Amino acid sequence: MVKISQNLIRRMPKYMRVMGELQEAGITRVSSAELGRILGFTASQIRQDFSCFGEFGLQGYGYNVEHLREEIGKILGTDRGYTAVIVGCGSIGQALINNFNFVDHGIDLIAGFDVNPERIGTVMNHVPILDISEMGKFIKAHNVTVAVLAVPKAVALKTANDLIEYGIDAFWNFTNVDVVPPYSNVIVENVHLSDSLLVLSYQKANNE
Amino acid sequence: MVKISQNLIRRMPKYMRVMGELQEAGITRVSSAELGRILGFTASQIRQDFSCFGEFGLQGYGYNVEHLREEIGKILGTDRGYTAVIVGCGSIGQALINNFNFVDHGIDLIAGFDVNPERIGTVMNHVPILDISEMGKFIKAHNVTVAVLAVPKAVALKTANDLIEYGIDAFWNFTNVDVVPPYSNVIVENVHLSDSLLVLSYQKANNE
DNA sequence: TAGATTGTTAATCGATTAACAATC
DNA sequence: TAGATTGTTAATCGATTAACAATC
């Protein structure tokens, strides 16, 4: 198979999103030209992108929306039954528990962990909040795929190291701490809100 | 001046972050080679990047950390005295108010807006929460630079259009709704958490 | 001065776009 | 069949890297 560039990987979720919207709108087929119009990409790029993973279209017809969506889902791993826990249930953790639809991404959010006794034992949006001291046992018992790291900066590194010890090898990292360097087989996706806001500031400052 | 690529713009906040860390650590000078080691970039790329904006270094010496940080700040607009309001103070909005350090990005968060009477009139982390019906008047009176959009999906488009009418032309968009298409002179920075999680899922699914 | 490191030009590499034969 | 649109190869474009003269 061809080399999958970082740029291409970041475009895949966008294809996924559009396929969902088309499906909801009851549209059953779509051409690369139409997809290009929707996303602001060239038709060429879209066909090139898909061809890196297989042949999903039909000459003279285009792409079947449902089928393409399924295939992209397989590529992105949304069909794998992944599970997640949120570590740190402060305001960021709670915002994710209450607002982010993990199920839509094929991920089952099975628990939150915190140190605050007022939170421990509660249930937020069907997710039980457990004592962080039980985390090791829980993770070993439940085959957890992803740890959502939303703890305070000061304990980010220590918590990440603990999680790695418990067998976690994929982090969705909301702390502004680089938690990865030496562990090359640990996957970290950083959510750098800072970078995002600074890009906006740049655009504003250089708009005219 | 040279053309500034999107890739370069997205690297600038990372340089900014490292300069801050170096400064905190009391380091006063740094070479492109050392920066490259820290960030995982080539020294060549770093010099090339900086040269798009000016000459900030000194042959045989490298870059003065404080000076370079200041210059990058100017490029990113952190010295412009921008102000922001948060529109929608549900859990995402509150998480930002309580956790995100706007001041570190040179931005003054001056108000939140909501429809919920229980929130209106309160103060969160020094930020007053006001009735959304007063938003138009407030924005016209206070020269607001950025609107942080954190309202429910259903009212995202309507709220964005209102804000544009009140004179807002820069959005930090936490809704999963594209709020921009036709308004070409409105800047939108989308925080697509979905995309981020799907990339993580992809990496996990294709790790071995 | 000798050593270090920049800013910049040229070379390479990779990603996007264009073109088109294959085929539904 | 004629029209449409894919998958793929080739051409172009842009971004990264290498090299080096300038100079602190």
Q: Residue A205, Cβ neighbours under 10 Å: how many? A: 18
Q: Can you say whether the dihedral through the CA atoms of A46, A52, A55, A56 is positive or negative?
A: negative
Average pLDDT over residues B174-178: 89
Q: Mutation target for A interface from B124, B201, B202, B206: give the one with most A CBs within 10 A.
A: B201
Here the tokens at position B48 are: 């090339």
- Edge-first strand listing for the sheet containing B123-124: B123-124, B127-131, B107-114, B82-87, B146-149, B170-173, B187-190
Protein-proximal nucleotides of chain D (any atom < 7 Å from a CB): 2-9, 14-19, 22-24
| Residue type at A18 in one-letter notation | V
Average pLDDT over residues B162-190: 88
Helix (H) or strand (E) holding B20: helix B6-24
Cβ-defined contact of A9 to B199 (cutoff 8 Å)? yes
Give the C-alpha distances (Å, rounded to integers) separating B103 from A198, B18, B69, B79, B109.
12, 17, 16, 11, 8
Here the tokens at position A77 are: 């791993």
- At residue A180 the predicted structure's pLDDT band, cuts being 50, 70 and 90, is confident
Here the tokens at position B4 are: 């500034």
Q: Can you say whether the dihedral through the CA atoms of B95, B96, B98, B99 is positive or negative?
A: positive
Q: Which residues of B touch A109 (CB under 8 A)?
A: none
- Would residue A54 be called left, alpha or beta, if left means φ above 0 and alpha means ψ between -120 and 50 degrees? left
Question: Contacts by A17-23 with C-beta closer than 8 Å and gap 24+?
Answer: A17/B194, A17/B195, A19/A65, A19/A68, A19/A69, A19/A72, A20/A69, A22/A65, A23/A65, A23/A66, A23/A69
Cβ-defined contact of A187 to B204 (cutoff 8 Å)? yes
Taking only the tens place, the pLDDT of each residue in B13-57 is 999 999 999 999 999 999 999 999 999 999 999 999 999 999 999
The DSSP bridge pattern shows strands B57-58 and B62-64 to be antiparallel
Mean of the per-residue pLDDT values of chain A: 95
CA dist., res. A103 & res. A90, Å (int): 21
User: What is the pTM for the complete model shown?
Assistant: 0.94
Give the C-alpha distances (Å, rounded to integers) separating A60 from A26, A39, A64, A92, A118.
21, 21, 12, 48, 61
Average pLDDT over residues B90-101: 94
Taking only the tens place, the pLDDT of each residue in A52-106 is 999 999 999 999 999 999 999 999 999 999 999 999 999 999 999 999 999 999 9
- Stated length of chain A: 208
